[in-house]
Amino acid sequence: EDQVTQSPEALRLQEGESSSLNCSYTVSGLRGLFWYRQDPGKGPEFLFTLYSAGEEKEKERLKATLTKKESFLHITAPKPEDSATYLCAVSNQAGTALIFGKGTTLSVSS
């Protein structure tokens, strides 16, 4: 069964305190791994797509990496505006839909 597990469930950081979020997955043939940001009551906002192990992508203070079993979302020197829930999802070989994890809720205080 295709499955995505995100850890930790919640993370509290001080402004400027770098950290990483983890996304572990089991999937029957990975087509792609996706990271989204979701603010309360809003739709998920696309951040990154990773397609193969070793791939990395960056956007401002965020950097996503991918191995054969997991992905990390590294947050460097976070700011309060980075506070949100970060969702990880995978697309399997059938490519019919995304399988989502439950998310990591990040809180950054000044």
Partner 1 sequence: DADVTQTPRNRITKTGKRIMLECSQTKGHDRMYWYRQDPGLGLQLIYYSFDVKDINKGEISDGYSVSRQAQAKFSLSLESAIPNQTALYFCATSDNPGQGLTDTQYFGPGTRLTVL
Closest by CA to 81, choosing from 58, 65, 62, 100, is 62
Closest to partner 1 by CB, 38 or 83: 38
Nearer to partner 1, 18 or 26 (CB): 26
Torsion-angle region of residue 44: left (phi > 0), alpha (psi -120 to 50) or beta?
beta
CB 58, min distance to partner 1, A: 17
Q: How far is the CB of 89 from partner 1 (least distance, A)?
A: 8
- Footprint on this chain of partner 1 (rule: CB under 8 A): 4, 31-32, 34, 36, 41-46, 49, 87, 89, 91, 95-98, 100-103
Across the strands, what pairs with 110?
none
Least CB distance to partner 1 at residue 36 (A): 8
The distance of closest approach from Cβ of residue 45 to partner 1 in the complex, given in angstroms and rounded to an integer, is: 8
Closer CB to partner 1, 44 or 78, in the complex: 44
How many CB atoms are located within 10 Å of the residue 98 CB?
19
